[in-house]
Structure formats: C-alpha cells, structure tokens
Chain A
C-alpha cells in the first residue's frame, strides 16, 4: 500500500504501518476506515508465473483464507447481543493478487486500563468485553490474541464506556489452530497450553486449544484492566504468566472476594477447570458496582506498569491524530 493510493475506492490517507501485514487509514465517500493489507495469501493470476502445483497450493491457501474470514460474518448476526462491540470487518475483498480487510475506525477514550473509571463504568467495560467474546465462542471461534491493545475502551455516550474487541484476524476455529510456527499473538497473554503448543511440547495437541485458551487470556486481561498490572509471579524466575502458571507460581493477590476467586479460576493451569464464557457473563451480570468496588485494590496499590509496551499500538485500529491532519482533495 502507498499513501494516496486508491484501492477499491478506499483512498489511503496515512502512511502504512508495517506489522506482519500493512495497515493504514483510508477514506471513502467521506467516511474514514481502517484498512489492512494481507501479505499472505496471494491469489495466483491467470498467466502468471509458477508451476501448476504451486498455483494449486496457493489456490487452496486462498480458499482457506476466504472461508476463515467469511466464517464469523456467517455465524454472527449484527443484531446479536454484544455484536455492536465486536469490531467485525465491514468488507474483505481481493484486488489483483492481494487481500484487504476494511473495518470501522475505533478511537480509544481511555488507554489500556480502566482504573480511572468508577466501578459502575468499569463493570460495563468488563461486561461488554465478555459479551463480545461470548459471540465468538458461541460460533466456535477463538480470538487467540486477547490483550489490552485489542480491547479498545471507548466512551459511547457521556459517562458510558464499553470495551470494543478488535483484531481477531489470527483467530481460528476451535480445534484447528495454525501450526506452532504460525501462531502470532502477544506472548505475555498466552495460555499455558498455547505456550506449550508453540514450544511444540508433546504434552499438548491442537485439540487442547479450545475457547478456554481465550479464558486464560481474559483472566490476565481483566486483571490488567482493573489494576493496571498482571497478576503476581516471580519475574526473575519466569518471563511470562503462562510459564508461571505451569510452575504453580501465579497469584491473584491484588483482587479480593468473589472477583479474586473468579480470576483465579480463569487462570487455572488446567484449561478444563476454567469457567466458560457463559459462566463469566452470568457472574458479571449478577455483580453490582458495589460488589465490584469491594474487590478492587486501594488506589495506592495500583501502578501504571505496562506488561507489554506500545508494541501493539501500531496494530491497533485507532485514530491517533487523524483529525486536523487529513485533507480532502
């Protein structure tokens, strides 16, 4: 992609950022969008180079990609509860050999954690996030990269904040994860079984990567949203929470009461013991702001540490400074 390039009517208005793929903001018919260019797969062109065998292999890759990307739009109705906070693709198309995804622009009102919100506001963020994940899990789809950068906290009405879930391009259908070398995601939020899978441990197979892998990540994510920190573990001994969990050294000490118990269960090293998303949603819906407030640490115990840096921001579908910098032709 290039600045000012027009792709299927979308005019690129920011210099593309490079992550695994390329992303940029685009304008079409007076509205702004987030556009992602996929570097793989590439659709083989008629008369193009390559042998029949390679061409056939690439066609199969493209068919699998198109199926995976159509999966969510087929299984999730836009009118479903929580669908409004799940940032699905507006459009996925191919131009020439290259695939693109276009989605709405999501602007964060608060960066990364909700410690600045009151308990009622924080509870709404947790509930809306959980309901969005519920939609994915009901469809049998695993997000695979749940982390603070992929939950955008947005003020939708004065004083009302929701969690918008983005970036599940690298998600997968339960039981069909990518090969270990293909797994992306933020290592800091990996579940134990995902970490073992990536390490190609014989203890774990593809069948062990279920929606419960997301639930571990969600436990870490919720802990971070509420405290601006990950749960306790000895960082001299273990670099990641998943490894600490495997070694029995992950502790939820900042939270109290029922919330502590729930997050502890979400962080169980055995995925079969973790609550499912429906269970979590029911708990959150039955929890009052007052119930939440007594479970949170005092303000003085919250520090603005960042378990992962600005790394994800380049990938985040946000508008850092579009206003005032964009000019209409």
Chain B
C-alpha cells in the first residue's frame, strides 16, 4: 500500500469468534445478538473510535454450543467468518437461525465450544491484528474428557482440558498469535471459568449470575469491553 495513501494507517484487523451457549436460558443473549447483528460493524467502529482505535478489517464467526452429553447431534453449530459490513446480511441470517433450546442438565459444552473456536482460520497477513474469542454462557461446563471418552467429539478435538490448554497457549498451533489473541469470558463465577481466567494468558472473565441468561450485561458494556481489549 502506498505511503501516500490516507488509508496507510495502523488500524486493527479484528477477527471475533462469538462462542454462544444456545441452551434454553440463553434467550436474552441470543435475542441481543440478533438485534445488533446488522449494525455490529458500525457499532464497534464507533466505540473503538472513542478509544482512538480504528478498524481496518472486521470478520466475525459464530460457534453455537449446547450439550454433547444431552444430545450430541445438535451440540455444536458453526459458521464461517463473515466479513463486515460486506456480509452483514449473511451474518444476520445465521444468527437469526439460532434458537435457544435444550441443554438438559446445568453444565453445558462450553469447553467444546472453545475447542471449536480456537483453531478458527484467523487473519494472518494484516498488521495490528487481533483475534478475539468471546464466550457467552450462564452455566458451568462439562469436563471435555467426558464427551471425548464417549467418542462424541469431532475428529481433531482436544480430548482433555490439558490438551485444550495447550491449544490456547501453544503458540502457533491454534493459529492464534500470542499477542494478537484475547479470550473474553462472560460466564458464572465458577469452574472451569474461574480456573481458565486464572491460568490462561490473555484471558479476562466477567462473572455473571448463573442461569440468568447473562442479564448482568448490556450489549453496550460488552461492546465496550471488546473494544478495550483490542
């Protein structure tokens, strides 16, 4: 890019993967995501501009999870990356088809959701790149070993918490550069989330009340924290 161009500026190339618990109690969050999907790019750009940051590129992806141990056939649903704002219609279409349902017992498959999110096809080439995983759940999580030992997980998934930890921490193995990556956890103040925020690098945990669909947070607050983390 020419150094004479006004576009030759150090904006952020941001990839965000929303990992969303789509069990029954999460209706408020899912409705919020649906409501804001079409304007996500402009809303985030506006918040970032107030922090003197600009977006040079924005892509979003969704990993929707429920409970592998309750019903493995609808436990995980993933989208590709959508480039915003160009593909906001496709992003909107995907999230509108998310329906809060099922889940069975209280722990859900949040760790499996993370396992699907971490090796996303992250942007590699742009400068000032940021790779964010933003997880929303109002429940604790099953040990990943349970679904793994039952043969329920897709091929290539980590079979243990230790392997999941390595996937996050292990340099380029998950495709995420160390300083580019951020994990924001909106989840109850319980295990495994408390332990993950304590042990995993580049991770922030925003505790919520269990089972209440993350009503502690407004979309504006979440957007502000995403922008602050970029």
Contacts and interface: CB of A to CB of B under 8 A. Distances in A.
Nearest to A18: B228
Interface in A246-282: 246-247
B96 to A, nearest CB: 30
Contact of B129 (A181, A199, A237): A181
Contacts of B178: 40, 182
A198 B127 contact: yes
In this complex, the interface size class of chain B, counting residues with CB under 8 Å from chain A, is 35 or more
A237 B50 contact: no
Contact of B6 (A44, A97, A237): A237
Interface in A184-218: 186-188, 190, 195, 198-200
Given A50-B166, A51-B166, A181-B177, A240 B199 contact: no
Interface string A287-329: 0000000000000000000001111101000000000000000
Contact of A190 (B10, B52, B53): B10
Contacts of B104: none
Contact of B52 (A45, A53, A308): A308
Interface in A148-194: 178-182, 186-188, 190
Contacts of A310: 50
Contacts of B4: 237, 247
A246 B1 CA distance: 14
A142 interface: no
Contacts of A53: 170
A45 B6 CA distance: 47
B225 interface: yes
Given A181-B127, A237-B4, A49 B52 contact: no
B200 interface: yes
In this complex, the interface size class of chain A, counting residues with CB under 8 Å from chain B, is 35 or more
Given A182-B179, A199-B127, A49 B201 contact: no
A238 interface: yes
A26 B164 CA distance: 34
B199 A45 contact: yes
Nearest to A203: B3
A42 B229 contact: no
Interface of B: 3-4, 6, 8-10, 49-53, 127-129, 160-162, 164-166, 169-171, 177-180, 182, 198-204, 207, 225, 228-229
9 contacts: A17-B228, A18-B229, A39-B203, A42-B201, A50-B162, A97-B198, A98-B198, A195-B10, A238-B6
Interface of A: 2, 17-20, 22, 39-42, 44-45, 48-51, 53-54, 57-58, 96-98, 178-182, 186-188, 190, 195, 198-200, 236-240, 243, 246-247, 308-312, 314
